[in-house]
Structure 1
Amino acid sequence: MPMVHDEQDRHKGFTRRVLMLTCGKAALLSALVARMYYLQVVEAEKYKTLAEDNRINLRLLPPRRGKILDRFGQELANNQQNFRVVVVREQTPDLVATLDALSKLIHLSEHDYKRILRDVKRKRAFVPVTVKDNLSWNQVSSIEVNAADLPGASIEVGETRFYPYGADFSHILGYVSSVSEKELTGDPLLELPGFRIGKSGIEKYHDNDMRGQAGTSEFEVNAYGRVIRELARNEGGSGREMILTVDAGLQTFVQQRLMSEQSAASVVIDIKNGDVLAMGSVPSYDPSAFNLGLSNKQWNSLINNPLTPLTNKAIAGTYAPGSTFKMIVALAAMKEGIGATSHTAFCPGFMKLGNARFHCWKRGGHGRVNMIEGLQHSCDVYFYDVARRIGVDKIAEMANKFGLGARVDIDLPGERSGVMPTKAWKLANIGEPWQGGETLITSIGQGFVLTTPLQLAVMVARIASGGKKVIPRITRGYREDGKAVAYGQSEFEDLGIPQEHMRMVHQGMDAVSNNPRGTAYKYRIRKEGWELAGKTGTAQVRRITMAERQAGIFKNEDLPWRRRDHGLFVAYAPVDNPRYACAVVVEHGGGSKSAAPVARDILRETQRRDPARTAAISFDTVDGVKNTSGDS
C-alpha cells in the first residue's frame, strides 16, 4: 500500500509540473504574439520607415519673428520668403568638394569659404550651416537638379526680415543679423542656419519677445542622410507683434525734412503720455543690408563715414544745448527768489568777471532786460548775471528735474546720458576746482554741458506740460494670439515747480516765436490755433579768438563745415493748449537759423496729422497701471 501511494504522489506532482510548464509556455507565447502584433500591426508604419537602412531625424524649426507696427497698424518690419542652401557636415564625405561643386552653381567668395568652414568647426556635425542666403528661383532650380552631386547640401525655405520704409526707420527699428560666436548661449535655436537676432534698435530691445517659440520637423532620411520625406511638423509659436508709438507718415516726413541737412536729429513727443511720435536721425542706412549680408566695402563705408550714419543721433548724439538751456537757468533763478519781471540786468554786449570778458551774441548788447525779455532776445548777459548769483549747483539741480544730465531710459538701446556739471563733478572727473567763469558759460548751455536731442525734447515737454515729469516711450504695447495688450503708463508726477514760474517761461518762449522782436519770429507758424512757442540755440564747436572777434571774421558761412556752430531749436505747440514737443539739432548748421525752420515744419505737419488724438489700434487689455494714452 505505501508503494501505491508513493506512485500516485509522483504522478500527481508530474502532472502539476507539466500543467505549470504548459501554462508558462502559453503565457510566453501569448506575450510574444501580443508583442509581434504590436510591432507588426500597431507600429507597422513606424518600423517600416526605420527599415531598409532608413532613420528618422528631428530638426528644430525657426519660429516666425513678430512684426513691428506703428501706432496705426502700419507694418514697419515684417517677414518675406527666403531660399537658402545649407550643408550638413556629417552628411558629406568631403565638405570642400561639396562647396567647390556648389561654387559652380552660385557665387561663393573666399570670405564665404572661410565663414562656412569656421561655422562648421564651431557647430555640431548634424547642425546645418548656411552656405548662401536669398537665392533666386533659378539658383534653387540648378541646385536641385544637381542634388546627386552635392552630398550634404540641401535647399531650405525660410524667412528674411523686410523693412518697407527702408532708411526712414533704421535708427528706431535697428536691424537683425546672424548670431555671432560670442552671442551663442547654448540655446540650439541660435545655431539654426539663417537664424537672425536683433542687433540694434527695437529689434534688439524686444528681441526675446519677437523671437517666438521654436517648432520641430520630423523627417525620414536614407542611409546617406538625404531627406526622403517629412513625417510630422510642429510650427511652434510666432513672436509677439510690437506696437510702437510712432506715426509712420510723420516719421517719414521728419526723416525727409532732416535730409536737407548733412547731419541732424529730431524728436517729437506727445506731452500728455510721453509717446514718441517721430525720431529722426540723418544720415541713415538701409537696415535690410545687414540682414542680407554686407560686403567688406559696404561695412567700411559705413563705419568710416565721418557723419556716423550708424549712430542714432537722437539718443546717442551729445551736443552743447546752447541757449535752449536758458529756460532751465530761468527756472533755477526764480526758485532762488530772482523775479522774472522785477530783476533786470543791463547788457552792453559783454560782462566782465575778473580779467575776462564774456560776450553776448549781440555785439552792441540788448540794453536793460528782464527775464522774459532775456528769453525773447536770448540775451547772454542777463543769464550770466543770474547764474553768477545762484551758482552752478542750483542750475544743475533744476536741469536734473527736467531730464538733463542722465538717461531718460527710453525703451531703445544705446541712449547716452550727456553731462550736467557741478562743482563736485568737475573735481571728481577732471581733478580741478570749479571756476566762476565756468558758471557763466554753463548758463548759456556751453562749457561742459552736453545733452541729447531726446533730452531736449523731454525738457521742453516737461515745460509745456506745466511741470509734469513726462517720461518718453516708443513702445505702446504688443499683439499676441490676436489680443492687443497696452503697456501701462502711470500718471506723470508733478516736479513741484510753482505754476507762476512755469507761466513766466511760457511767456518768454511765446515771445521768442510770436513777438516781432523775438529771435525766431521769422520761423513762426502763422495758422491761427497752431502757433508754436520755442527757443533758439547756437552751440559753438570752437573758441572764437579775440583777433577774430575784432576783425569780424567769425561768421559761420566763412568757415569750413566742421568748424561751424551747431544749430538747435526746441518748441511746443499749440501755444494755448500744448500737446506736442519737438527738439531739432543740426550739426554744424551755422546756428539756430538752420534748426528753427525744420522744427516749424515738423510741428506744423504734426498738428496737421494730429497723430496723438486718434489711433487705429484698440487695445484689449492694459498691462500694468493706468493707461494715460487717451486713445487706447
Structure 2
Amino acid sequence: MGGVMTTFVGVLGLRMWQLGVRDADQYYLLAEENRISLRLVPPNRGRIYDRAGKIVADNEQAFRITLVREEVEDLEDVLAKLRRLLGLDDEAIFKVKSQIEQASGFAPITVKDRVTWEELSIVAVNAPALPGIHPEMVLSRVYPFGPDFAHQVGYVGPVSENDLKEEDDAAEPLLRLPDFEVGKIGIERRHERALRGLPGTRRVEVNVSGRTMRELALDPPTAGPDMQITLDHHLQNFMRVRLEGQSAAAIVMDVTNGDVLGCTSAPSFDPNLFVRGISNRDYGALRDNEFRPLSDKTVQGAYPPGSTVKMSNALAALESGVMDPAETVACNGYVEISGRRFHCWKRGGHGRVDMVGALRESCDVYFYEVAQRIGIDGIFAMNDRLGLGQKYDLPLSSMARGNNPSREWKQQKYGQDWLIGDTINASIGQGFTLASPIQLATMAARLASGT
C-alpha cells in the first residue's frame, strides 16, 4: 500500500512539474489570449474645406446611449426603463431588439443616437438601475452649409451590405463597428478610403465572461487627412438660392485653369438627414419629388444641348477653312435639303447674316449651311476636342457620358447608315446629340481660353 501511494505521489508531482515548470510558458500564453482582448478604435474622418478655407464637412461631438447585451440580465426591464427615460417608441424598441439578435453579446448596440445633454444626464443618474447601458461621446459627420454642397461633397451614412462587398477583407472589421459611417455619394464616396483614416487598437483586460475590466494599452488611430476643394461657399449659396423652386443646374468655371468655382443642382436637399440613417418619410418625400432633388443634374443629366453647339460648329468651319466669317448666308426661315424643309427658329427668317450675326441671332439656317460643308465628321471631331461625349475625372457620382454621335456610333447602335438629316439635326444640338451641363461648361471654357 505504501508503495502504491509513493508511486501515485510521484506521478502527481511529475505532472505538476510539467504543468508548472516545463509547460508554464505555453499555458501562460493561452491564459493571456483568454484574458487580453484587442479592440479597434475608429479614426476621426478628415474634414473638407472650400477654396476659401471654410469647413463644408466637419466632425462634431455627439452623445449616444448604447447597450451591451452580455451585461444586461433583464433586457425587457432595462428597455422599459429606457422607454420612460428617453421617450422611445415601439419602432425604436423593435430596432434595438433586431440589432441585438444580429450582433454578438459583447458588441455595443445604439439605443438612441444624438441624445441631448439632459437625456444623457438622466441616463447617467439612473446608471445603477440600468446595467449594460452606457452613455457615450462620439464624433459624427455634419455639413454646416446644408444643401449648398449636397450633391458635390455628398454625405456619409451607415454601412450597408453593398459597402462591405466593395471593401477588402482588411477593412471589414472597422466597417462592422457600431454606427460606423462611410461616404455614399460625391467627394465623400470618391475619397472614402483617404478621408476614413486608419483605425487604432486598444488592449483591454476582460474577465471570464468577456466583460471589460481595465484598459492595458492604446495604439491611437490615424485621422484621415483634410481635403480642400475648388468650390466657393458664397457662390454655392448664391447659385442655390437663385435656382430655388426650379429644376435646373448651373456651373461656374475659371477658364484660366479649369477650376470649378460653383456647381449647383436644383432642387437640393439637406445631407445631414442621411448621416445617421434617413427616415422613411423624409426619403419618400425626396424620392417622389418630380424635380428629382437626389439627382445631380450638373453631371448626371444628359440633355439636347441645342444652339450651344453652334459655337463648336463655327470653330470647325473656321479651322477647316470651308467658311469665311464675313461670308453671308440668306435665311428665309427654312432651307430645303433632300426634299425636306428644315426650319429656322425665326419663321420669317433673319435675312443675310455672317458668322458673327448668326451666332448673335442663333440663326439655324446659317448653321445648316455650315453643317453641309463640314459634315458630321467635322462636327464630331470638334465636339470631341471641346469635351462632349466624355466622362471627366471629377469626384462626382454617376457622371453621364452624354452622346457625341458619329457615323460609326449610329451603325453600331442601330445598324443604319448616317443620313444628311442627321447631320442637320446635329448642327443645332438636336437629334442624337446629348450633353451634360458640366460638358457644356467645359466646352465654353475651352473656347474662351483657346485650349
TM-score band, normalised by shorter chain: 0.7 to 0.9
Amino acid at match of 2:318: M
What is aligned with 2:236? 251
C-alpha displacement at 1:246, in angstroms? 1.5
Among candidates 182, 190, 206, match of residue 175 of structure 2: 190
Give the alignment of 1:139-538 within 5 angstroms: 139-184=119-164, 185=167, 186=169, 187-219=172-204, 230-259=215-244, 261-466=245-450, 468=451
> CA, structure 1 residues 161+132, in 2 after alignment: closer, same or farther (shift >3 Å)?
same
Amino acid at match of 2:82: L
Q: Give unpaired runs (5+ residues) of structure 1.
A: 1-27, 40-46, 469-632
The Cα shift of 1:210 comes to 0.9
**Compared with structure 1, are the counterparts of its residues 113 and 351 closer, same or farther at alpha carbon in structure 2 (3 Å cutoff)?**
farther
- Map Cα deviations across residues 548-576 of structure 1 (whole Å, 9 max, x no partner): xxxxxxxxxxxxxxxxxxxxxxxxxxxxx
TM-score norm. by structure 2 comes to 0.85
Q: Distance in 2 between the 1:180 and 1:110 partners?
A: 24
Question: How many pairs align?
Answer: 420
Q: Determine the C-alpha separation between the residues in 2 that align with 1:391 and 1:112.
A: 65
CA distance in 2, matches of 1:330, 1:93: 79
Contact 2:322 2:374 in 1 (8 A): no
Question: Rg: which structure is higher?
Answer: 1
Structure 1: distance between partners of 2:45 and 2:70 = 29
Partners of 1:55 and 1:321 in 2: CA distance? 68
TM-superposed deviation, 1:110:
4.7
Q: What is the DSSP-based 3-state SS (H/G/I as helix, E as strand, rest coil) of the residue aligned with 2:256?
A: coil
Q: Corresponding residue for 1:78?
A: 58
- Say if 1:96 and 1:414 are closer, same or farther in 2 by CA, change over 3 A: farther
Name the CA shift for 1:374/1:139 in 2 (closer, same or farther; >3 Å).
same
Output the amino acid matched with 1:102.
L
Partner amino acid, structure 2, of 1:433: D
Q: Structure 2, unaligned stretches of length 5 or more?
A: 1-16
Is the counterpart of residue 136 in structure 1 residue 116 in structure 2? yes
User: Structure 2 vs 1, CA of residues 391 and 111 (structure 1 numbering), >3 Å: closer, same or farther?
Assistant: farther
Secondary structure (helix, strand or coil) at the match of 1:216 reads strand
Q: Partners in 1 of 2:284 and 2:110 — Cα distance?
A: 24
Question: Bigger shift: 182-191 or 333-342?
Answer: 333-342
CA distance in 1, matches of 2:210, 2:132: 8
Q: Is the 8 A contact 1:55 1:222 kept in 2?
A: yes
Q: CA RMSD in A?
A: 2.7
Identity of aligned residues (%): 46
2:362 is matched by which residue type in structure 1? Answer: S
TM-score, length-scaled by structure 1: 0.62
2:318 and 2:325 in contact (8 A); partners too:
no
C-alpha distance in 2, partners of 1:249/1:359?
Answer: 43
Structure 1's 398 and 143: CA in aligned 2 closer, same or farther, altered over 3 A? same
Quote how far apart the aligned CAs of 1:104 are: 2.8
Corresponding residue SS for 2:336? strand
Matched with 1:88 is 68
| Residues 56 and 140 of structure 1: CA distance in aligned 2, closer, same or farther (over 3 Å) | farther
- Equivalent AA in structure 2 for residue 73 of structure 1: G
From 30, 36, 46, the counterpart of 1:66: 46
Partner letter of residue 127 of structure 1?
A
CA gap 1:446/1:94 in 2 versus in 1, 3 angstroms: farther
C-alpha displacement of 1:459: 0.4
Amino acid at match of 1:208: R
How has the CA–CA distance of structure 1 residues 109 and 418 changed in structure 2, closer, same or farther, with 3 Å as cutoff? farther
Mapping of residues 42-57 of structure 1, within 5 Å: 57=37
What SS class does the counterpart of residue 437 from structure 1 fall into? helix
Distance 1:274 1:107 in 2: 52
How far off its partner does 1:294 sit? 1.6
- The 2-side partners of 1:430 and 1:298 are apart by 42
One-letter amino acid of the structure 2 residue matched with residue 308 of structure 1: R
Counterpart residue identity of residue 202, structure 1:
I
Cα gap change, 1:191/1:358 in structure 2, threshold over 3 Å: closer, same or farther?
same
Q: 1:165 to 1:414 in 2, by over 3 A?
A: same
Take 1:458 and 1:389, find their aligned partners in 2: how far apart are those partners? Answer: 26
Note if contact 2:106-2:210 (Cα within 8 Å) is conserved in structure 1.
Answer: no
* CA contact 1:85–1:153 (8 Å) conserved in 2: yes
Task: Give the superposition deviation at 1:363.
Answer: 1.5
SS in 1 for 2:188: helix
Amino acid at match of 1:196: E
Deviation at 1:219, TM superposition (A): 4.4
Shift of 1:280: 1.1
Q: Residue 424 of structure 1: SS of its match in structure 2?
A: helix
Give the distance between the partners of 1:101 and 1:427, measured in 2 at CA.
70
Question: Residue deviations 1:116-163, cap 9 Å, x none?
Answer: 444444444432232221011122122223334444332221111111
CA distance in 2 between partners of 1:113 and 1:447 (Å): 56
Cα pair distance change 1:199/1:109, threshold 3 Å: farther
Provide the C-alpha distance between the structure 1 equivalents of 2:207 and 2:343, rounded to a whole number of angstroms: 85
- The equivalent of 2:6 in structure 1 is none
**Helix, strand or coil: the match of 1:133?**
strand
SS in 1 for 2:64: strand
Shift of 1:168: 0.8
The alpha-carbon distance between structure 1 residues 325 and 95, as it changes in their structure 2 partners (threshold 3 A), is farther
2:14 match: none
How far does the alpha carbon of each residue in 1:580-611 deviate from its partner, in whole angstroms, 9 at most, with x for none? xxxxxxxxxxxxxxxxxxxxxxxxxxxxxxxx
In 2, Cα distance between the equivalents of 1:435 and 1:107?
Answer: 69
Return the structure number with greater helix share.
2
Q: Distance in 2 between matches of 1:169 and 1:114?
A: 35
The answer to whether the 8 Å contact 1:123/1:191 transfers is no
Rounded to whole Å, the distance in 2 between the matches of 1:281 and 1:174 is: 12
Residues 368/203 of structure 1: CA separation in 2 closer, same or farther (3 Å cut): same
